Homo-oligomer: A and B are copies of this chain.
């Protein structure tokens, strides 16, 4: 790839981390910055937990758990099993290896370090080269509004209730007063291409865009999104279910409708090839289909190359 190419990825959890890993495999580390959702962050048993940042770092470090989609590979559950034995409330499972990092992040947080500084330390400790940037240093909390107007903490909805409640909307607490990282804004300004990874548009990309400054910085940039919805379903996570419950038929087209003001390029799965022209003619977004399902490291790399080539018109 072009030596001077600067790419910024916006991502949430599993799907986003896979494409970010693909980008990290095809780009020198100094050419890639990844801005990660922190709306899912929460405090649990006193520990400060950043699920999306951890999924990102573990994925880039090659130690993510391939089965669960969260946590680490070769994990053990000695602490968790004892929590259960004691009769603790343990709906959020904490693996032993995962816990080691939660402890250190929390220690640093309590000693006054910013999430940005902590995340930089984290990437080094885990041997991750590209810059991983939390969307902001302030705590922003994604809340899920249910049909019955109950407001749930995201992890309560996502993990404890297994995405069971019907959603009617979302709020991103404190997003309006949070500030985007200066490093993130500078990376966006310097970027030749912004990649919106196949993450949940509502609760992974939504919180990032809700912070004043990101949308403005993104205006006029070349922005390529990869649809997280394939054949009306999501590979992982509740995005399709959320579209449905908000009264929108889940589809790649629905994702295009969500992002249309923002993106210049859209990558959909070959399964959805039929809607490419409709998206193009409706919003003027350059749309193309390819295999977007990343089963292997090689799939991640192939999709990353495809996105860059398509969005920047580079043929290789």
Contacts and interface: CB of A to CB of B under 8 A. Distances in A.
A186 interface: no
B110 A83 contact: no
A103 B102 CA distance: 12
Size range of the chain A interface in the assembly: 20 to 34
Interface in A61-111: 76, 78-80, 82-83, 85-89, 94, 96-97, 99-101, 103-104, 106-107, 109-110
Max chain B C-beta neighbours (<10 A), residue from A87, A96, A97, A100: A100
A100 B86 contact: yes
Contact of A97 (B43, B44, B82): B82
Nearest to A122: B86
Max chain B C-beta neighbours (<10 A), residue from A46, A47, A87, A96: A46
Given A46-B47, A79-B99, A89 B106 contact: no
Contacts of A82: 96-97, 99-101
Contacts of A97: 78-79, 82
A84 to B, nearest CB: 9
B125 A100 contact: no
A48 interface: yes
A86 B232 CA distance: 41
B104 A45 contact: yes
Max chain B C-beta neighbours (<10 A), residue from A80, A83, A87: A83
A103 B110 contact: no
A85 B127 CA distance: 12
B83 A104 contact: yes
A97 B96 CA distance: 11
Contact of A79 (B44, B103, B107, B125): B103
A85 B45 CA distance: 23
A89 B104 contact: yes
A43 to B, nearest CB: 7
11 contacts: A45-B103, A46-B47, A46-B48, A47-B47, A78-B79, A79-B79, A79-B97, A82-B101, A86-B101, A89-B107, A99-B99
Interface of A: 43-48, 76, 78-80, 82-83, 85-89, 94, 96-97, 99-101, 103-104, 106-107, 109-110, 125-126
